[in-house]
Amino acid sequence: MGVSKIKYFFISFFLFFLLNSCNQGANEVKNDSQEEIINDSTEVQDSIEMQMKALADSLDMVGSSYEDLMKSKKGTDYRNSLYLRKIHLLESENDSLKTQLNILRKDLEAFANSRSSEEPKSVLNKSQKDVQNMILAMNSSWVKMYQTRKPKEVLKYFLPRFLVSRISVEIDNTANAAMYQPNDFANFLKDLNNKNDLVLEFADVNFYHIEVKSGTYFNAAYKCKLKIYKGDKLQYDNSVLVTMTGRKFGKKWKIATLSWVGFKYDASKKEEKSDE
């Protein structure tokens, strides 16, 4: 019986050693396979990022315009998103050129009237022109904010302490109003940034009045269109009347108060507007 027990012990030990060796081998194969999968996945991701950066470079877009896309985990179609951002940027530049053309046309008409009329219309002086350029740059900054995802693109045109009031008459003719102090307005801009497929664009700016007092204070009034896109589709077309006041802050004009009254229209419907 003693010999049988010894044989049984050695056979059991041998089987245990063999089974343990097989498990170690299987784990090594599994780990190697997982490492290969991870490496392959990393290489694929690196390849996608390189392709997207190359595409962004071909669209003349700076790194900050697409880095947030690369970090997104929502399964966004990066390529389409890059194209959409470039499209909105170009549309904004086109609208800006149209506005500048209209301004030049009005300046030319005012200059012509000043030579032929007994009550000439004045051409803007340098201070008024500087205020006008600041307003146009502020309007364009909303699209730039969409590109960089940084609210400071818009906030840099405001004084440290400012007030923004907004009234919107919706499509169904209900009205809502809001008032923003600096922190509130910054949060409002952040909320817009969180809506990745929503873009605001200002167009067709028509200045009614710009006045500068003693080279220090200004007030201005103008009308424009506010286009709201979802992706590449125009959802809403707003007719907006804007009044603002501000002052010289260092060497730059800054906004102190901004009042914004808008009528919202469904872009898919041809609703009649009283001023058209």
Tell me the CA end-to-end span of the chain in Å, nearest whole number.
112
Could you identify the residue written with the tokens 């390529």?
79
Residue 77 lies in a domain: no
Q: Is residue 80 part of a domain?
A: no
273 found inside a domain: no
Tell me the per-residue pLDDT of 42-73, one tens digit each, with 9 for 90 and over.
554 555 555 555 555 555 554 454 455 455 44
Whether 74 maps to a domain, the answer reads no
- pLDDT of 74 reads 45
**Residues 137, 157 contacting (CB under 8 angstroms):** yes
Q: Between the CA of residue 162 and those of 138, 250, 253, what are the distances in Å?
A: 15, 16, 13
Which structural domain, as residue segments, surrounds residue 14? 1-58
Residue 136 lies in a domain: yes
Q: Are residues 198 and 95 in the same domain?
A: yes
DSSP 196: T
Residue 71, by phi and psi: left (phi above 0), alpha (psi -120 to 50) or beta?
Answer: alpha
pTM: 0.58
Enter the tokens of residue 186.
Answer: 């910054």
Residues of the chain where predicted confidence (pLDDT) is lower than 70: 1-122, 196, 270-276
Distance between CA atoms of residues 250 and 11, nearest Å:
92
Q: What is the CATH number of the domain that holds 167?
A: 3.10.450.50
Contact 217, 109 (CB under 8 A): no
Q: Answer whether residue 6 is part of any domain.
A: yes
Q: What is the pLDDT of residue 29?
A: 45
Between the alpha carbon of residue 236 and those of residues 75, 111, 144, 192, the distances in Å are 27, 37, 20, 15
- What confidence score (pLDDT) does residue 193 get? 82
User: Is the same domain home to 52 and 99?
Assistant: no
Q: What is the pLDDT of residue 120?
A: 47
The H or E element that residue 52 is part of is: helix 2-58
Give start and end residues of each alpha helix (H) in the chain: 2-58, 67-71, 78-116, 126-148, 152-155, 182-194
Q: Please write the tens of the pLDDT for every residue from 235-249.
A: 888 999 999 999 999
Question: Which of 58, 76, 97 represents a domain boundary (last residue)?
Answer: 58
| 233 and 99 both lie in a single domain | yes
Number of domains forming the structure of the chain: 2
Q: Do 134 and 262 belong together in one domain? A: yes
Q: Which of 37, 58, 79 is the last residue of a domain?
A: 58
